[in-house]
Structure 1
Amino acid sequence: MSELIISVSGLRGIVGETLTPDVAVRFVASFAASMPPGKMVVGRDGRTTGPMLRNAIIAGLNACGRDCIDADVAATPTIGVLVRELRAAGGVQISASHNPPPYNGIKLFGGDGRVLDAVSGGKIRDGFLGGNTAWCDFDSIGQIERPADPHAAHLAKVLQTVDVDAIKKQKYKVLLDSNHGAGGLLGVRLLEALGCQVTAMGAEPTGRFAHVPEPTAENLTGVASMLGTSGCAVGFCQDPDADRLALIDETGRYIGEEATLALCVRRAMEVGRTDGPIVINGATSSMSALVAKSHGVETFRSAVGEANVADMMIAKSAAYGGEGNGGPIDPLVGYVRDSFVGMAQVLDLMTRTGLKLSELADELPVQHIHKDKASVSADRLPALFEKMKSHFADATAESGDGLRLQWDDAWLLVRGSNTEPIIRLIAEAESADQAKSLCDQARALL
C-alpha cells in the first residue's frame, strides 16, 4: 500500500487505500477548526472519484458548522478566485493534479484565495495528525449553496488582462486538450470569448483520461500529430485541474510547459509590467529570468511549490511569477497557477507581435532542461547531498529546498518530491547533452 502524502497545502493518496472518506472528513475537520468563521468553497476536477469525495468533504464541513459553496467541477485557479469574490473563509479543491486515475487529493485555500502558506498549512496538517476537529451541535449544521455561474468571475478577470478586441480580430483557430479534466468548461468559454474557432478535445469532465494526464511531450504525441495537420495556430494542453498549460505550435511541435511561463513573462514585460521583479522557483528554466533581464527586471527564485512562489511574490511585490511546469501566476487574477491566464496571454502576445507561436518560441533564450527521478528514502538524502557537493566541487551549493548546484551556465537541483515518494533530479544547461550529463552524474552517485 502506498503512503498518504501530506504536505502543508493538502494531501494526496490512492482512493480506497490511503485516501478514504474517513481521511477526507477528518482532514477538512482539522481545516475547519483552524480557519476563521465563514463559508467554504468546495470544487473538484473531473476525476471519477471526485463526486464521492465532494459529498464526504461537504458533509464534514457541514458537520463543523460550515456553510459550503459547492462549485462542483471547476479548475483550481477558479476556486481561488471564487474564495475571494464570495469572501469565503477558505476553499477546498479536490484534485490529484497530474497523478494517475487511482489518485485523488485535497488542496486547501485561505481566505485570500491562494494555496495555504507553510505556517497555516502546517498547523492543519498537525491538527489532522493529532485528531483536531470542530464538530458542532445538531442545530448548527451548515448548509449548501450552489452558485449560478462559478466560472464567471474568473473569466472576467482573465479577459481584463488582455486586449480582447485585438485578439478577436485575428479569428485564431485553436485546439484545446483538456483531457477530460476540469479545464474544458472554462477553457472553451474563454477561447470563444476571444473570438477563437475552438477544436476541443476531452472537454467533458468525465475523468476518463484519453492519455496520461501530465502534459509532457511523450504524453502529447497524439495531440501534437493531430495539431500539425489541423490548421490550428496553437494547441493548448491542460492538466486535469487546469493550473498547468503546455503549448504545441502550429507545426505540431511540442513547445512545452517551461515555454508557457517564459512567453507569458515576455508578454508581461512588453505591456509594461516592469514595476516589480518576477519570481520563479528553483526548478524553473532560466528562460524566464533571461527574458526579464533583457527588460531590466530582476528575478528571484523561491523554493519549489506554488505556495512558496506566492509567498515570495507577495514579499517582493512581484509584477509576475510562476512555475516552469506551465503555471503562470498573474497577481491581477490571483496568486494561483493558471492555465487560462496562459492561454489568453499567449494569444495576446501572438497578436501584439504578429508572430506565429513557432516564431515566438524560437526567439526564447536557448536553454535545455532535463528531468529525471529516482526512488530514494528521505533518510539517505543528507549523505547523498554531501556526496554531490564533493563531486561537483566547482559549483555554488545552496540548500534548504533539497540541493541546488549553480554554475555560470548551468544548474542542477536534487530534491524530494512534494507529491510522490521519490526524488527529482532537474538540470538546465545551454546544451541538451550537458543537462542530461548533470542528471546522469547525480543519478550515478545514488
Structure 2
Amino acid sequence: MRISKEYDLSNLMISISGVRGKIANGFGLSEALLFAQSFTTMMNHGNVVIGRDSRPSGPYLESLLTAALLANGSSILSLGLVPTPTTKAVVKLSKARGGIMISASHNPMEWNAFKFISKEGFFFNAKENETLIDHLKRFQFSPEMIHPKGAVGFGEEYIDLHIKSVLARINLTKIKKKKFKVFVDAVGGAGSFVIPKFLRELGCAVVEHNCKPDGTFPRPPEPTPAALKSSEKAFLKSKADIGFALDPDADRLVLFTPKLGAISEELTLPLALRNILSSSKKGSKVVVNLSTSFLNEHVASLFGAKVIRSKVGEANVVEEMLAEKAVFGGEGNGGVIDPKVPSFGRDTLSGIGHILNLMAEENKTIDALVSELPSIHMEKQSFPLPKGFSLETLYEKFIKGFPKAKTSQKDGLWLSEEDRWIHIRPSNTEPIFRVIAEAKSNEDLQQTLKRVKSCVES
C-alpha cells in the first residue's frame, strides 16, 4: 500500500508523547502507514515490540504496523493487550531495537496513537522524534523486501518479568501478611488483566471493576475524581482497604480511600515518593514536572531530599532523572517513575507496589497516610487553542498580571511566588492550552484564579 507524497498531517498531535489523532479524521490508515514506514526505517531490520490498549482500532493498527515491519525484515514480539509501562519494560528486557505502544492514553475512544519507544525502553526523545519526522517529510523509507526473514512471536514470559521487577522493589512478605483487599477500576483498558494478576502476587484479595476489555470505556477515560463518581460508589460498597483507578493504557494511577472516596491524582506521587525516600540517602534527588504539586517538595523536605522540576512529558522527566541521577520521579497526573524498574517511566504497577508497601511498612491505613499530607489547593483549566492564536501574547499578559513572580519559559510559562505557582502551556496531546495553578490555601487559590481569568479573557 503506497500513498501519495501529498498528505495533510495538520489534524494530528505530534509531540514528545508520540503521534495521535482521531480515527478517519487525521489518524486514518494512510497517516498511520506513513508513521509506520518511518519508524520501520529507523528500526533497520531489528526486533520490535508491539503492545496496545483495548481501543477497537488497536487490532487493525497493529496489523498495519506488523505488515510494515515484516516487509522491512524486522521480527515482532507481540504483547497484545498490555499497559504502556509493560511494553516499555519488555523492549528493554528483550533487548529489542525498539517498540510501539498503540494507545491514545486518556483521550476518548475515537482517538488512537503511536507511542514510539527506543531500545533503552524510553519514549523517543526530541532528536529521535526529529529523525522520525524527517524520514516522513522526505518520504524516504526503507523499501519492502522480496524475501524478508522476520517473524511474529508472543511474549507472555516477558510480561511476568515486568511484574517480578516491581516485586523486587518492595517487601513482598510484609505486604502478603496484610492481606489487603484492593479494588481495581481498569476502565476496560490495558490494565484489565495485568494489574489484578500483579495484586494477587502480592497476596491481595482483588475486587475487579471495569476489568473487561471489550473495546468500550464504561466511564470517562481520564481517571480524575469527577470521572470516577460511579466507580467510587462501587469501591465504597466493596469495603476494600484501598482502591486504584487507571487510564486506558495503565500508566496513570488514582487512589480511592474508605473515608474520602476518589482523591486527587496529585496525591499518588507524593505517597509513592514517601515509600522510596524512607530508605534513600539524605540529599537524594527527585524529578517532577513543572505542573506537579509542591506536595512532593513537602515529602522531600522530610527526608532531606531535593526536588528538581522538568518540562512536562514523561520523556522530559526521564531525561532529567538520568541527568541528575534521581532516585525517583513522576508527574502529578498520577504517573510514578521508578528508575530501577525496567519500564523507567510512568508505571501503575510500580505506583501500586510502593503505596501498598508504605501501608505495610508503616502499619497505617491509606486514609491515615493521606491525612499526614498538607491539604492540596490546585485548579487545572483547559482552553481551546484556535488556529492563529498567539501563546506569546498570552504569556506577556500573565507576566504583566503577576509582576512579582519569578518566571521560567523552560516549558510554556511558569510563574512562581512564595505561596503559589501558575503554569501555562499548550497540551502535548490535545488542541488546547492548559493553565494550572496551586496555592497554599483555598482563599489564595481563588484570588489567583481570578487573576488568571483576567489574563486569559483580557
Distance change >3 Å, CA 288–CA 207, structure 1 → 2: farther
Which of 98, 113, 120 aligns to 1:105? It is 113
1:368 maps to what in 2?
A: 377
1:441 maps to what in 2?
A: 451
Q: How many residues align?
A: 446
Any conservation in 2 of the 1:232–1:250 contact (CA below 8 Å)?
A: yes
Distance change >3 Å, CA 37–CA 352, structure 1 → 2: same
One-letter amino acid of the structure 2 residue matched with residue 99 of structure 1: N
Q: Does 1:330 align with 2:338?
A: yes
Equivalent position SS for 2:216: coil
Q: After the TM superposition, which of the residue ranges 282-291 and 119-128 deviates more from structure 2?
A: 119-128
Identify unmatched segments of 5+ residues in structure 1. none
2:23 maps to what in 1?
A: 15
| Structure 1 runs (4+) greater than 4 angstroms displaced | none
Which of 79, 83, 92 aligns to 1:71? It is 79
Within 5 Å, give how 1:399-410 maps onto structure 2: 399-410=409-420
Q: Does 1:189 align with 2:172?
A: no
Tell me the alpha carbon deviations over residues 124-162 of structure 1, each in whole angstroms, 9 at most, x when there is no partner: 123223323112321126321112434211100111111
Tell me the alpha carbon deviations over residues 224-261 of structure 1, each in whole angstroms, 9 at most, x when there is no partner: 12222321011100000000000010225222211110
Any conservation in 2 of the 1:427–1:436 contact (CA below 8 Å)?
A: no
1:297 maps to what in 2?
A: 305
1:320 maps to what in 2?
A: 328
Which of 398, 407, 415 aligns to 2:408? It is 398
Aligned counterparts of 2:71 and 2:282: Cα–Cα separation in 1: 47
Equivalent position SS for 2:113: strand
The TM-score with structure 1 as length reference comes to 0.96
Tell me the alpha carbon deviations over residues 9-63 of structure 1, each in whole angstroms, 9 at most, x when there is no partner: 4111111221112222210211122245520000101111111111111111112
Any conservation in 2 of the 1:47–1:95 contact (CA below 8 Å)?
A: yes
Aligned counterparts of 2:173 and 2:130: Cα–Cα separation in 1: 45
1:133 maps to what in 2?
A: 141
Equivalent position SS for 2:157: coil
Q: Does 1:84 align with 2:112?
A: no
One-letter amino acid of the structure 2 residue matched with residue 380 of structure 1: S
| 1:216 Cα offset (Å) | 0.4
Aligned counterparts of 1:117 and 1:2: Cα–Cα separation in 2: 22
Aligned counterparts of 2:249 and 2:203: Cα–Cα separation in 1: 24
1:60 maps to what in 2?
A: 68
1:281 maps to what in 2?
A: 289
Any conservation in 2 of the 1:281–1:302 contact (CA below 8 Å)?
A: yes
Aligned counterparts of 1:436 and 1:214: Cα–Cα separation in 2: 25
Q: Does 1:422 align with 2:432?
A: yes
Distance change >3 Å, CA 204–CA 226, structure 1 → 2: closer
Q: Does 1:246 align with 2:254?
A: yes
Equivalent position SS for 1:189: helix
Report the aligned-residue RMSD. Answer: 1.6
Any conservation in 2 of the 1:29–1:135 contact (CA below 8 Å)?
A: no
| 1:409 Cα offset (Å) | 0.9
Which of 127, 130, 139 aligns to 1:122? It is 130
2:4 maps to what in 1?
A: none
Which of 394, 401, 411 aligns to 1:384? It is 394
Aligned counterparts of 2:407 and 2:45: Cα–Cα separation in 1: 44
Any conservation in 2 of the 1:26–1:60 contact (CA below 8 Å)?
A: no
Aligned counterparts of 2:45 and 2:374: Cα–Cα separation in 1: 48
Aligned counterparts of 1:435 and 1:116: Cα–Cα separation in 2: 36
Which of 335, 352, 359 aligns to 1:350? It is 359
Distance change >3 Å, CA 28–CA 431, structure 1 → 2: same
Any conservation in 1 of the 2:44–2:72 contact (CA below 8 Å)?
A: no
Aligned counterparts of 1:32 and 1:237: Cα–Cα separation in 2: 34
Aligned counterparts of 2:251 and 2:270: Cα–Cα separation in 1: 16
The TM-score with structure 2 as length reference comes to 0.94
Distance change >3 Å, CA 189–CA 274, structure 1 → 2: farther
Aligned counterparts of 2:450 and 2:284: Cα–Cα separation in 1: 37
| 1:203 Cα offset (Å) | 1.5
| 1:381 Cα offset (Å) | 0.5
Aligned counterparts of 1:348 and 1:414: Cα–Cα separation in 2: 35
Equivalent position SS for 2:106: coil
Equivalent position SS for 2:14: strand
Distance change >3 Å, CA 379–CA 291, structure 1 → 2: same
| 1:354 Cα offset (Å) | 1.1
